Chain A
Amino acid sequence: MASLTHHATDLRGDLERVVGADHVRDDAGALLTFATDATPLQRGRPDVVVFPGTTEEVAAVLRLADERRIPVVPRGSGTNLSAGTVPQLGGIVLVLTRMNRLKEISTDDLVAVCEPGVRTVELAQAAAEHRLLFPPDPGSHTTATLGGNVAECSGGLRALKYGVTRDYVLGVEAVLPTGEVIRSGGRLVKDVAGYDLRRLLCGSEGTLAVMTELTLRLLPAPEESGTGMAYFPDLGAAARAVSRVLSSGVLPVTLEFLDQVCIDAVEGYAKIGLDRSAGALLIFGQDGDRHTIDQDMRRMAEACEAEGATHVRIAASAAEAADVLQARRAVLPALSRLQPLTILEDATVPRSRIAEMVERIQEIAQRHDLTIGTFGHAGDGNLHPTVVLDPADEDAIHRAHAAFDEIFEEAIEMGGTITGEHGVGLVKLRHLERQLGSDQLALLRRIKAAFDPNGILNPGKLGS
């Protein structure tokens, strides 16, 4: 952005007048650390990083940027996996982590009101102190911010039973790229006044507005939980068990699977006694009262046995449950130790087609001479095919991209999506038209233009 550099000094001064000199960074080192998020291989080059503390400061920064047509990339903790917060066109990185006040937890209205920089786990823990539950639990929940969760519509392990972030957003305050502050929704479960903009902002990936306050729905916390595991000779049998579980009247809180590559990697690294000869591992769990848990765990174990599980175990204690869950928890680290570069995607298919999809992924991996481990949320069809690579092997990186192209195509053909929970960001933008079609893509662009007439907010991504 050569055009930016010459008035960068002015820009810095003007931004300092808005947020204070302590909250603007443009030193080379700082810019470098805000050039990336958690997405491998993607790097931008911001001109300046700003840390606003209030809605008014956000609005002032946006007005300033809009006048000068400077790109603005909103950012929380930078755990994005689709390069959604990578400032690939330069400009201002707008970091919202200073706005981290948890303003209220209402046990009467069952809502939390907070600023976007509150971390997911902070809200979950604060809610738990009132015996309440905030269900969305993305893998990054200890680091990620709620603003980021809403902007990306994060999922997590409990989505089958509890839904995703979208289902918990009752109201938002947001600043439009042109500087106006709007509020959509509030503390109400029922509210149909006007277009549902709060839901439109869910998953808008920082391209429509900057959210500055969130009103989130809470649930009464379940009393207890139970966890079990089942091995299968192949993934087909595990997938049939999933169908049988779900048609047996059980809506489990956890239903996760690991394929053979993942089982092998986890056991090789964590040595927790997994059966490496198994073709698939299914982890299942339920929460609620003790009676429901006992009954549902038994039903799920029976469903697994009926579909040919070679070994089924229900954890007898919290410590044993933790052991079971450790297998799932260890997948990504285990895969990442096979090779330094891991590329993780989240293609999602109807759950009836999981086995077929994983088979296709393995076939694609073989054809491209790649190691791909697949794990994910069996209950909602959200897969995490993960390719492990030597970062110096450029040919392998090309083959990985080619393989993911085929995987996305396959997912779309099965009635699935290119992204279940990570977002389109930069890395999947070129696949979006294939899924949505050109008419819908044009509509997305018109919506984007209505919010952001000058195209300054996270440009070059959704809606551009």
Chain B
Amino acid sequence: MTLETTTHGAGPADPGRRGIFTQELLDRCISCGFCLPACPTYDLTGVETSSPRGRINLMRALETGTLPDDDPTVLEESSFCLGCRACEPVCPAGVQYGALLEEWRDHLWHGRRRPLRLRALLWAVDDPRRVRLMGLPRRHAGRSKADGSEPVNLMLGCFERALYPTVSLRAQELAPELSAPAKQGCCGALHAHNGELERGRELARELGEALPGTIVTTSGGCSAHLASVLGPERVRELSQWLVQRDGAAAPPEQPEPEQLRGEARALGSAPGETDDAGAAQAEPPREPGELPRAARPAAANEPAGARRPRIGLQDSCHLRNGLGVWKEPRELIEQAGEYVELPSAAACCGAAGSYAVLRPDDSARVLDRHLDEIAAADLDVIVVVNPGCYRQLEQGIKRRGLRTDVQHLAELLAST
């Protein structure tokens, strides 16, 4: 018998720990496996090793020295993971996988030679002066409020201002109350997710100083990183800001991400559709006979003039899984057209920060399902709330020759 007794995460005084990971984070996982179906890379491979639970087992082996730093599987899996954090909302034990992944990459990648493409990206955004060179919206308002009330500043982003400069302009049209100081750099999310955890936090703190008060962002990924460093009370993603400002519908009860678990699925659930052994459900249950809220083909005999545009959404992973914000963009889209919930709206599109640049083939495989659904739903517009998703979908749709237009939520709302 080679039966061993292992403790999932040993004690603090345990000399067998290397201190790579925060102990409480690593101990949290109870290995129930509920994360498996939520994980895009598990979905692609069907292999435990490429699942969140599998990766946490790899992290534990690294922490105890069972596997070395240069183990090829450890290196591959730390890179293959999209970092989308879809495993977090379905985790009954509250594992903060995103934080573990940052620690993992910080340990494995920090100070090491990484692909030139990644180093170029990190270099470009590492200094606010270089970020400024990427451009500024022409009509930026550089002043904070003079009336002494708490300032509210628009974050201009780094790559977004270079690739999609109209997004910030449209955001300012929608929210003229926002100031947009010129002296602001990158939020540091790219660093934090790619093995430069401390530099990523430093950049977020610098941005927090450059933009005092509340920071409104047009990028889901940036908002989650900023919230993790500066505190969620200082950060509002644009859809959150607009809904709160206008008190549009019901006051957005955004539960804490922890409390959010099971929230969507809880509504309308029938008693039999609960779990055994107290574990949470990972997918929204449907009433018996209810069809999935999948895309339906457009009604054929609708008069052309009366037809509202069919609009889908690509959630930003970190906005949804990290901050629990998913209702607001949907509410706002419904003001602009017929909202169509794609089956994979909440799943990662494969952009995943630098992932699309570093692992283009895997990134494209993750995207395929989304493109299939967009085509099947015959969408007029697919809305994004994150620049990475913008680029990913724009390129994918172009490759496939689909007719669907990609728009940032700010662009959609400003044109309505």
Question: Which A residues are closer than 8 A to B by beta carbons?
Answer: 1, 25, 27-30, 32-45, 51, 77-79, 81, 86, 88-90, 95, 97-98, 100, 119, 121, 125, 128-133, 135, 137-143, 154-158, 162, 221-227, 253-254, 270, 285-287, 318-319, 321-323, 325-326, 328-337, 340-342, 344, 346, 375, 377, 384, 390-393, 397, 421, 426, 460
Q: A137-B272, A225-B272, A340-B30 are in contact. List 20 more A-B contacts (CB 8 A).
A: A29-B71, A29-B72, A29-B73, A32-B61, A35-B57, A37-B33, A40-B30, A79-B32, A121-B281, A128-B288, A137-B273, A142-B283, A143-B37, A227-B271, A253-B272, A321-B269, A329-B274, A336-B93, A391-B27, A392-B7
Contact residues of B between 62 and 95, Cβ < 8 Å to A:
66-67, 71-74, 77, 90, 92-94
Question: Which B residues are closer than 8 A to A by beta carbons?
Answer: 1-14, 24, 27-28, 30-34, 36-37, 46-49, 51, 53-54, 57-58, 61, 66-67, 71-74, 77, 90, 92-94, 259, 261-262, 266-283, 286-292
Closest-CB distance, B29 to chain A (whole angstroms):
9
Which residues of chain B come closer than 8 Å to A98, judged between CB atoms?
A: 46
Contact of A331 among B4, B94, B278, B291 (CB under 8 A): B278
Q: List 29 A–B pairs whose Cβ atoms lie within 8 Å, in order of A's numbering.
A: A1-B2, A29-B67, A32-B61, A33-B57, A43-B6, A51-B47, A86-B3, A125-B286, A131-B288, A137-B275, A139-B275, A142-B34, A155-B276, A157-B271, A221-B289, A225-B272, A285-B271, A287-B272, A321-B269, A325-B269, A326-B266, A330-B280, A332-B277, A332-B278, A333-B261, A333-B280, A391-B10, A391-B11, A392-B11
Are A44 and B2 touching (Cβ within 8 A)? yes
Closest-CB distance, A345 to chain B (whole angstroms):
10
Are B280 and A36 touching (Cβ within 8 A)? no
Closest-CB distance, A359 to chain B (whole angstroms):
21
CA A37 – CA B8 in complex, angstroms? 12
- In this complex, what residue of A is CB-closest to B289? A131
Which residues of chain B come closer than 8 Å to A155, judged between CB atoms?
A: 276
Are B8 and A137 touching (Cβ within 8 A)? no
- In this complex, what residue of A is CB-closest to B48? A33
Which residues of chain A come closer than 8 Å to B9, judged between CB atoms?
A: 340, 391
Closest-CB distance, B341 to chain A (whole angstroms):
16
- In this complex, what residue of A is CB-closest to B271? A285
Are B28 and A340 touching (Cβ within 8 A)? yes
Are B3 and A139 touching (Cβ within 8 A)? no
Ranked 5 nearest A-B pairs via Cβ: A29-B73, A392-B11, A221-B288, A332-B278, A285-B271
Are A140 and B8 touching (Cβ within 8 A)? no
- In this complex, what residue of B is CB-closest to A323? B266
Which residues of chain B come closer than 8 Å to A89, judged between CB atoms?
A: 1-2
Are B275 and A141 touching (Cβ within 8 A)? yes
Which residues of chain A come closer than 8 Å to B273, judged between CB atoms?
A: 137
CA A317 – CA B91 in complex, angstroms? 26
Contact of B272 among A25, A223, A254, A421 (CB under 8 A): A254
Closest-CB distance, A316 to chain B (whole angstroms):
14
Given contacts A143-B37, A341-B8, whether A157 and B274 have CB atoms under 8 Å apart is: yes
Contact of A128 among B1, B66, B269, B290 (CB under 8 A): B290
Are B49 and A30 touching (Cβ within 8 A)? yes
Which residues of chain A come closer than 8 Å to B66, judged between CB atoms?
A: 32
- In this complex, what residue of B is CB-closest to A100? B46
Are A330 and B288 touching (Cβ within 8 A)? no
- In this complex, what residue of A is CB-closest to B291? A129
Are B57 and A157 touching (Cβ within 8 A)? no
Q: Is the interface of B mostly helix, strand, loop or mixed?
A: loop
Are A426 and B280 touching (Cβ within 8 A)? no
CA A325 – CA B282 in complex, angstroms? 15
Are A336 and B92 touching (Cβ within 8 A)? yes
Which residues of chain A come closer than 8 Å to B274, judged between CB atoms?
A: 137, 157, 254, 325, 328-329
Closest-CB distance, B12 to chain A (whole angstroms):
8
Contact of A38 among B5, B32, B280, B281 (CB under 8 A): B32
Which residues of chain A come closer than 8 Å to B268, judged between CB atoms?
A: 318-319, 322
Are A40 and B31 touching (Cβ within 8 A)? yes
Are B278 and A375 touching (Cβ within 8 A)? yes
Contact of A138 among B61, B259, B276, B291 (CB under 8 A): B276
Are B288 and A341 touching (Cβ within 8 A)? no
Which residues of chain A come closer than 8 Å to B33, judged between CB atoms?
A: 37-38, 77-79, 140, 143
Contact of B270 among A225, A330, A336 (CB under 8 A): A225
CA A390 – CA B279 in complex, angstroms? 21
Closest-CB distance, B35 to chain A (whole angstroms):
8
Which residues of chain A come closer than 8 Å to B8, judged between CB atoms?
A: 40-41, 340-341, 391
CA A121 – CA B48 in complex, angstroms? 19
Which residues of chain A come closer than 8 Å to B24, judged between CB atoms?
A: 340
CA A342 – CA B273 in complex, angstroms? 24
Which residues of chain B come closer than 8 Å to A224, judged between CB atoms?
A: 270
Given contacts A45-B2, A77-B36, A143-B36, whether A329 and B262 have CB atoms under 8 Å apart is: yes
Given contacts A40-B30, A142-B282, whether A390 and B11 have CB atoms under 8 Å apart is: yes
CA A390 – CA B274 in complex, angstroms? 29
Which residues of chain A come closer than 8 Å to B30, judged between CB atoms?
A: 38, 40, 336, 340, 342
Are B48 and A392 touching (Cβ within 8 A)? no
Which residues of chain B come closer than 8 Å to A78, judged between CB atoms?
A: 33, 48
- In this complex, what residue of B is CB-closest to A286? B271
Which residues of chain B come closer than 8 Å to A333, judged between CB atoms?
A: 92-94, 261, 278-280
Which residues of chain A come closer than 8 Å to B36, judged between CB atoms?
A: 77, 143
Which residues of chain B come closer than 8 Å to A426, judged between CB atoms?
A: 3
- In this complex, what residue of A is CB-closest to B36? A143
CA A270 – CA B259 in complex, angstroms? 7
Which residues of chain B come closer than 8 Å to A88, judged between CB atoms?
A: 1-3
CA A41 – CA B290 in complex, angstroms? 41
Are A318 and B269 touching (Cβ within 8 A)? yes
CA A137 – CA B271 in complex, angstroms? 11
Are B58 and A33 touching (Cβ within 8 A)? yes
Which residues of chain A come closer than 8 Å to B288, judged between CB atoms?
A: 128, 131-133, 221-223
CA A137 – CA B73 in complex, angstroms? 35
Closest-CB distance, B388 to chain A (whole angstroms):
28
Closest-CB distance, B36 to chain A (whole angstroms):
5
CA A128 – CA B14 in complex, angstroms? 50
Are B49 and A321 touching (Cβ within 8 A)? no
- In this complex, what residue of A is CB-closest to B12? A392
Which residues of chain A come closer than 8 Å to B94, judged between CB atoms?
A: 333, 337
Which residues of chain B come closer than 8 Å to A322, judged between CB atoms?
A: 266-269
Which residues of chain B come closer than 8 Å to A39, judged between CB atoms?
A: 31
Q: Which residue, A95, A131, A139, A225, has most C-beta atoms of chain B within 10 A?
A: A139
Contact of B278 among A43, A137, A330, A346 (CB under 8 A): A330
Are A321 and B271 touching (Cβ within 8 A)? yes
Are A143 and B289 touching (Cβ within 8 A)? no
- In this complex, what residue of B is CB-closest to A324? B271
- In this complex, what residue of A is CB-closest to B24? A340
- In this complex, what residue of A is CB-closest to B61? A32
CA A79 – CA B33 in complex, angstroms? 6
CA A100 – CA B266 in complex, angstroms? 27
